[in-house]
Structure 1
Amino acid sequence: MLLTDLKKITSKYKKGLQFLFFLATAALYTDVVYAQQQNLIPYVQPFSGTSASTTLASQHIEDKTERLANTIPAVAPPFSMTQWTPQTQLTEKKCLAPYYYNNKKFYGFRATHWISGSCTQDYGSFTIMPISGQLKTNAAQYAENYVHENEVSTPSYYKLKLPRHQLLTEITASLRSGIMRITALKTDSVYILVTPNSDQNKGFIQVNTEKGEISGYNPVHRIYQGWGEPAGFSGYFFIRFKKAFTSAGVYSEGHIFKQQNISNKKDIGAFAGFKLQKGEQLIVYSGTSFTSIDAAKANLESEIKNEDFDAVLARTNQIWEKSLLQISITDTNEKGKKIFYTALYHAMQHPRLYNDVDGKYPQFDGKYQNKTINKGNYYDDFSMWDIYRAQLPLMELLKPNLANSFVNSMVLKGQQGGWLPIFPCWNSYTAAMIGDHATAFIASAYNKGIRNYDINEAYRLMRQNAFQMPDSADYLNGKGRRGINSYLKYGYIPQEDSIPNAFHKREQVSRTLEYAYDDYALASIAKDLGKEADYRQLLKRSLNYQNIFDSNVGMVRGRFSNGSWYKPFYPDHREPYITEGTPRQYTFYVPHDMPGLIKLMGGSKNLENELDSLFDKKEYWHGNEPGHQIPFLYNYTPSPWKTQMQVSRILAEEYGEGAGGLSGNDDAGQMSAWYVFAALGFYPVDPVSGNYQLTSPLFKKTTISFSNGKKLTIIAIKKSKKSIYISKISLNGRPFTKNQIRHQSLVQGGKLIFYLQDQPATL
């Protein structure tokens, strides 16, 4: 076992070193068996996270930007190429989501590639806006004042009444395409405006009056690394209507032009005009692609073609019901179920499908070159620093075949770009965050038996990141580990190395800690592949966290190349050598070697005391990822009941109903995945190990259906409503006395029973 070997290496090498009901869709279900299944879509609250947080825990946060979860009410099947959202923001600028709940203007339906819950930027998007009366092409003139009472939103459907334009709009979607139904509430002229959303005044749009089509593209630009440079692909779209035009044209900055196309000007767009009678409906079909307009058309023809709106909606409903029903809850806690299924919805947005129906996708970092995947699908938008912790492990648990495609996509990126990417978004290299967690993710999947890819090629790419420094051009492009030379030379990254060529500069201690974890992750694969020398060297390097632990203060601390410590030391302040946190918070990031950390801290009781201090000082910050494992670390102390206490508190205080239901940035579903795991009663503190730390389940009965056909039923038997503390556990009728459970034990199915009481107890 890796832990045993780690202990040996430690001994040998220690160097001090928010709810809206779903309307009128039940009649769409024709399958009798399916109709008998539990309807879970009404529990999902797509507006959750679209306004400033109103959760109890968020109210002490002074910086309001830290209270924005930045999610959107996305309409699409899970892990789609394109999500559809009502648009209340015109820009594709960084940290501005397409939709905010408190905005008052509606600008149309955006086919978006916003990374849910992020502070990045939208890209390659376009917007469809229906208006009536006189033709207007200036956004300030055609924008609709809207109220939430006119909205209905589910994962598969959005409806909005436009009072000024007297139009009822509805939208649903497939993986790569959308269908909109517009009902005229009065007899009038109706115009459809289509806008590529380029902040760089780039893009192209054309109208084909004879065929009744509009098509175009919005070029994608990079962010973080190579900021503003072309990303090597565009967001393409193809639109057709189930009714002939009466007029059409293109425009820019509110001016209408007679030509059939326009490109590379400010605020370009195209319009199609219709005459609709009261009650008449206009159907708009839209296809999207990342490779070409023809591919966008082919995607539409394959997925929707000329289907009826209700038929597409019924199919997407079924897809979501099936996905949500993988976890079935039996409980009277309706609020908890709303939060849970909303979290599961948010955890199933990304990574993003990138290939067309024929397998074609833009080559990674590829300068407008395309590749074809012959088996499975290709994905991108891996907010890796966030999602390797729980969101990707949740997919490893629920959808291993999908997780396999994720790994294979990472390998393909490495092969095409020459280096395994650190934080691949916009199908490009970035040095946006720290760590090398593609390695941690691949190891996590591999160690759980998810292995339908070329592991030797994956290992080659991971090893290259761990041992080599790219040349200057590749390094500037975002390839390789930041600060790898310093890390290899000193066993930590000293303060002298400011990490200049990265979005996050400095942060040397956090980088050291996370590289140590990634080395441990790679060591686990090296051992399995029989690469003994690599294994021992990597395992030794996994102890590098010891090199930046100052025993005099009992925490991690900035260190210079000569061994001296950074002064002054402020344990609870944001320090330049720590990523988005404090030294106290980051000290607990040694998920792979808790016994070693405990020894440095002076024993498990001291670990407990330090954890107590963190929570007593209110220094635990759930709104960001580096501390997500911390509440579960009490399982390594004499008082595991404190994990149960703190996790129960966080579930109650950090998550809620309504638009303010998330207390921090959701980060591509990581915050939401944390809730899912914690509510189930287990969490992957160290995803690579395949172990989950146990806590008390939130619901009376939960059943997880695995892809292997087996089911795990988790039961919480409570003495009262206040019971949150575990008195005993049984697994398949036998006593279970551990604080953790193996992945393979879960997916084998059976019955896991937690007996809960009002007062703490020791397992």
Structure 2
Amino acid sequence: MDITQIDTRIGTKSKYEFSRGNTLPLTGMPFAMNYLSVQTNHDHSWWFDPDEHTFAGLRLTHQPSPWIGDFQHLLFKLKTRNITNNHELDDYDPQTSIFRPDLLVINNISQQIKIMTTVCKFGGAIKAYNYTDQPLSLIIQAEKLSALKKQVDGSYTFKINNFSACEDPNFSMWVAIKAKSLTYQQTNSEDEQSDLIFNLASEDELLFASSFISAEQAQYNLSLLHSFDQIQQQAVAAWQKIFNKIQIADHHPALVKTFYENLYRSFLYPMQFYETDAKGNELHYSTTLKKVMPGKMYTNIGFWDVYRTSFPLYSLICPQKYAEFLASFYQSYLETGYLPRWLSPDERGMMPGTMLDVIIADAAVKGIALDKVPLYLKAMIKGAETSSKDSKYGREGLEEYKNLGYVSANYPESVNKTLDYAYSDWAISVIAKIVGQTETAAHYAQRSLNYRNLFNPQTGLMMPKDDQGNWVTDFDNLDWGKGFTEGSAWQNSFNVYQDIPGLIKLYGGTNEFIQKLTELVNQAPIYNVGSYGQVIHEMREMSAQPLGQLAISNQPSFHLPYLFALAGKPHYTELLVKQIMKSFGINDYPGDEDNGSMSSWYVWSSLGLYPEAAGKGSYVFGIPAFDQVELNLEDNKKLTFITQDNDFSKQFVASRKFNDQKCGNTITHAQLVKGGSLKVKLSVLPE
């Protein structure tokens, strides 16, 4: 697939009350430091709507999610008239505009300007074609914009100090800009101002670069940029390198395009948060220590969202990048004392659990970053044993968890916290076993069974307990919140990724387990607002899908369709996955896409397999979507997926062979990375 065929607007038709992805149309390179996007309104977080014809400007953004917010953002505005009313919205035509990963082309009808932009890792280029006889003005607009300075080479630098949340109130971004015709219209000032206004000739190329380190570093970053074409070629090459890893031959071109649009979204986050100086040193600004530090850093990532799908995908497609991410997250541990949970730009403390633990374990069992495992293990144990006075860090309710074997209803999301902590304990046992610490491995393997303490055999679901060991008395399995995260007991009770056989035993056997899963899917998609006290968008999104309580719109339900296969009913999984894939429309997701996590779910499910559990190094089979897929892996290995009788009417797998050998319901990562051929034949009815 040619990257220039991708439309970045998939999932952007969202609002506070209902998400169709809550994505942004981002132009830039994979895992970049900056992205450019179109801003259509002045909403604080939902500032782009694909159907709006209004145009506020090109937004330099670092927003990973509307629920997290943006930091160090600005607007590039190009105008030929009304330059004093800079908050006025212009009109543009979204139908004739181009939204691609490497290129944005906007026809500003109000100003009679055609705007083109392209972006690399840390900067980009903007070019405008002025169709009027009025002079062209470049307006840079941001909150807390200051320190404008003209450099000896004719470029300009300035500083921005705005963010949604950060440990350092003085955390800033410096921006350097240059163009042959660029001149400043106002007197230089050190005071904070809302706008900078420049003169710019039509068709002149404005080059810009940013830095979180200094004005000098921004100038150096700018010196590496030479032309619009150079920057665009870099962006195209970076995306094509990823796209060329997966080559698809299929008779449904629309589905192939949807696949690659999801692949694009899978490689946007985490975002780069480090720079390389003129001497080749890699540096980043630590907002926790409030100073420049050596080494790489990545940010804008929530591990609770991505551990199930995104990082397992990186382990197969770009394992070296995976190792680089881990090293940077360990650097965050060195600076804060805890492994991060949700970075943007520093610890936000969102969502339960310390799920980086299982991402580390998944890397280790796949042979990634093994030399760093002893260091990572110490960091994981620190989070498992040491409570933080700041709830953003580590495990909230940890002392209860250690003493009672669960987190009580004294803490919000107590059931999810307990299940996540048990999963992380299991991940620690996996790492400890790898490095030969058998006693440590045994201790955390035993503690990982704490999930059993909240299973109520009377309801067949997980339930909150008080700190005296009693079940809460006001339990309703349709209540959202009240111990659960963004869902009820139905969506969250099966989050025992590390020990599905043990969970099945709690139900009394496979038949009872499958019966409960079937009950989950076959009931009405209704809910009670519970402790949320109001209808939240996740509730609406679950009810919009005809899948009962299987809220594929949110991460805790991602694995639910595949539990049938793990319990010996693969045809149930095949039927469900085939239906769910249809909910990923041409323009929509069934819920928040969240940092590539839902896109990665689609990628995995299209291939016909899914990560069984991060840290296990194995995959459970589903049903493939394409006639033939070829994955180009490390060490020149190739993995080919071939699907016979591939048609929408055929919703079941009749046979499956890997390298001409019959397969069970799972396959290991070690088998896949050696390369080979997976052949699947589909059928109308189960055989």
Q: TM-score range by the shorter chain?
A: over 0.9
Q: 1:424 aligns with which of 343, 366, 371?
A: 343
After superposition, what is the alpha-carbon deviation per residue over 1:15-69, rounded to whole angstroms, capped at 9, x for unaligned? xxxxxxxxxxxxxxxxxxxxxxxx422442201111039xxxxxxxxxx623242
Q: Do structure 1's residue 508 and structure 2's residue 414 form an aligned pair?
A: yes
C-alpha distance in structure 1 between counterparts of 2:138 and 2:413, whole Å: 49
Amino acid at match of 1:651: M
C-alpha distance in structure 2 between counterparts of 1:295 and 1:131, whole Å: 29
Amino acid at match of 2:399: N
Match of 1:81 in 2: 33
- Provide the aligned length of Structure 1 versus Structure 2: 660
Q: How does 1:219-234 map to 2 (within 5 A)?
A: 219-221=161-163, 223=165, 230=168, 233-234=171-172
Cα shift at 1:290: 1.4
SS of residue matched to 1:297: helix
Q: Is the 8 A contact 2:157 2:219 kept in 1?
A: no
Q: Do structure 1's residue 639 and structure 2's residue 569 form an aligned pair?
A: yes
Match of 1:36 in 2: none
Q: 1:732 aligns with which of 639, 646, 659?
A: 659
SS of residue matched to 1:329: strand
Match of 1:236 in 2: 174
Q: How does 1:487-502 map to 2 (within 5 A)?
A: 487-495=401-409, 497-498=410-411
C-alpha distance in structure 2 between counterparts of 1:361 and 1:538, whole Å: 36
Q: How does 1:30-41 map to 2 (within 5 A)?
A: 39-41=1-3
Amino acid at match of 2:196: A
Match of 1:630 in 2: 560
C-alpha distance in structure 2 between counterparts of 1:541 and 1:264, whole Å: 54
Match of 2:674 in 1: 748
Q: Which runs of 5+ in 2 are unaligned?
A: 524-547
Q: Do structure 1's residue 248 and structure 2's residue 248 form an aligned pair?
A: no
Amino acid at match of 2:382: Q
Q: 2:230 aligns with which of 297, 302, 311?
A: 311
Cα shift at 1:264: 3.7
Cα shift at 1:105: 2.1
Q: Is the 8 A contact 2:247 2:631 kept in 1?
A: yes
C-alpha distance in structure 2 between counterparts of 1:450 and 1:605, whole Å: 38
Amino acid at match of 1:458: Y
Q: Is the 8 A contact 1:123 1:235 kept in 2?
A: no
Amino acid at match of 2:320: N
C-alpha distance in structure 2 between counterparts of 1:672 and 1:263, whole Å: 44
Going from structure 1 to structure 2, the CA distance change for 1:98 and 1:242 (only over 3 Å counts) comes to farther
C-alpha distance in structure 2 between counterparts of 1:153 and 1:328, whole Å: 23
SS of residue matched to 1:371: strand
Match of 2:61 in 1: 112
Going from structure 1 to structure 2, the CA distance change for 1:638 and 1:394 (only over 3 Å counts) comes to closer
Amino acid at match of 1:382: I
TM-score (structure 1 length as normaliser): 0.84
Match of 2:148 in 1: 206
Q: How does 1:88-237 map to 2 (within 5 A)?
A: 88-90=40-42, 93=44, 96-115=45-64, 117-140=65-88, 143-196=89-142, 198=143, 202-208=144-150, 211-221=153-163, 223=165, 230=168, 233-237=171-175
Going from structure 1 to structure 2, the CA distance change for 1:453 and 1:292 (only over 3 Å counts) comes to farther
Match of 2:544 in 1: none
Going from structure 1 to structure 2, the CA distance change for 1:389 and 1:721 (only over 3 Å counts) comes to closer
C-alpha distance in structure 2 between counterparts of 1:708 and 1:657, whole Å: 35
Cα shift at 1:182: 0.8
Q: Is the 8 A contact 1:66 1:665 kept in 2?
A: no
Amino acid at match of 2:171: F
Going from structure 1 to structure 2, the CA distance change for 1:134 and 1:148 (only over 3 Å counts) comes to closer
Amino acid at match of 2:40: T
SS of residue matched to 1:552: coil
- RCO higher in structure (CA 8 A, sep ≥6): 1
After superposition, what is the alpha-carbon deviation per residue over 1:401-431, rounded to whole angstroms, capped at 9, x for unaligned? 10001110111111122222222221x2222
After superposition, what is the alpha-carbon deviation per residue over 1:587-619, rounded to whole angstroms, capped at 9, x for unaligned? 111111011100101111111111111111211
Cα shift at 1:231: 5.5
After superposition, what is the alpha-carbon deviation per residue over 1:505-540, rounded to whole angstroms, capped at 9, x for unaligned? x11011101111111011100111121221111011
Going from structure 1 to structure 2, the CA distance change for 1:288 and 1:749 (only over 3 Å counts) comes to same
Match of 2:625 in 1: 698
Going from structure 1 to structure 2, the CA distance change for 1:490 and 1:160 (only over 3 Å counts) comes to same
Match of 2:485 in 1: 579
Q: How does 1:655-670 map to 2 (within 5 A)?
A: 655-658=584-587, 661-670=588-597
Amino acid at match of 2:586: E
Q: Is the 8 A contact 2:477 2:490 kept in 1?
A: yes
Q: 1:455 aligns with which of 373, 386, 390?
A: 373
Cα shift at 1:220: 4.7
* Large movers: runs of 4+ above 6 Å: none
Amino acid at match of 1:139: H
Going from structure 1 to structure 2, the CA distance change for 1:70 and 1:236 (only over 3 Å counts) comes to farther
Q: How does 1:540-551 map to 2 (within 5 A)?
A: 540-551=446-457
Match of 1:436 in 2: 354
Cα shift at 1:671: 0.8
Q: Is the 8 A contact 1:207 1:248 kept in 2?
A: no
SS of residue matched to 2:229: helix
Cα shift at 1:165: 1.1
Q: Is the 8 A contact 2:365 2:615 kept in 1?
A: yes
Cα shift at 1:685: 2.9
C-alpha distance in structure 1 between counterparts of 2:282 and 2:47, whole Å: 28
Cα shift at 1:710: 0.7
Q: Is the 8 A contact 2:4 2:101 kept in 1?
A: no
TM-score (structure 2 length as normaliser): 0.93
C-alpha distance in structure 2 between counterparts of 1:78 and 1:607, whole Å: 41
C-alpha distance in structure 2 between counterparts of 1:286 and 1:635, whole Å: 51
Q: Do structure 1's residue 682 and structure 2's residue 609 form an aligned pair?
A: yes
C-alpha distance in structure 2 between counterparts of 1:741 and 1:669, whole Å: 24
Cα shift at 1:363: 4.2
C-alpha distance in structure 2 between counterparts of 1:281 and 1:463, whole Å: 57
User: Root-mean-square deviation (CA), in Å?
Assistant: 1.9
C-alpha distance in structure 2 between counterparts of 1:614 and 1:469, whole Å: 36
C-alpha distance in structure 2 between counterparts of 1:211 and 1:144, whole Å: 33
C-alpha distance in structure 2 between counterparts of 1:460 and 1:174, whole Å: 36
Match of 1:601 in 2: 507
Amino acid at match of 1:404: A
Cα shift at 1:301: 1.4
Cα shift at 1:622: 1.0
C-alpha distance in structure 2 between counterparts of 1:167 and 1:698, whole Å: 43
Q: Is the 8 A contact 2:68 2:164 kept in 1?
A: no
Cα shift at 1:620: 0.8
Amino acid at match of 1:144: D
SS of residue matched to 1:435: coil
Cα shift at 1:89: 3.6
Q: Is the 8 A contact 1:220 1:230 kept in 2?
A: no
Amino acid at match of 2:274: N
Amino acid at match of 1:479: Y
After superposition, what is the alpha-carbon deviation per residue over 1:226-266, rounded to whole angstroms, capped at 9, x for unaligned? xx753663222111112242x512xxxxxxxxx3024445x
After superposition, what is the alpha-carbon deviation per residue over 1:155-190, rounded to whole angstroms, capped at 9, x for unaligned? 100101112211110001111111011111233211
Going from structure 1 to structure 2, the CA distance change for 1:132 and 1:205 (only over 3 Å counts) comes to farther
Q: Is the 8 A contact 1:421 1:479 kept in 2?
A: yes
Amino acid at match of 2:501: P
Q: Percent identity?
A: 25
C-alpha distance in structure 2 between counterparts of 1:459 and 1:155, whole Å: 37
Cα shift at 1:687: 1.4
Q: Is the 8 A contact 1:365 1:417 kept in 2?
A: no
Amino acid at match of 2:396: R
Cα shift at 1:698: 0.4
Q: Is the 8 A contact 2:631 2:638 kept in 1?
A: yes
Cα shift at 1:721: 4.2
After superposition, what is the alpha-carbon deviation per residue over 1:264-289, rounded to whole angstroms, capped at 9, x for unaligned? 45xx1211124x4xxx4121100011
Q: Is the 8 A contact 1:80 1:353 kept in 2?
A: yes
After superposition, what is the alpha-carbon deviation per residue over 1:118-170, rounded to whole angstroms, capped at 9, x for unaligned? 52101011211110035325312xx3112212311111001011122111100
Q: Which runs of 5+ in 1 are unaligned?
A: 1-38, 54-63, 250-258, 499-505
C-alpha distance in structure 1 between counterparts of 2:648 and 2:590, whole Å: 25
Amino acid at match of 2:606: A
Q: Is the 8 A contact 1:195 1:270 kept in 2?
A: yes
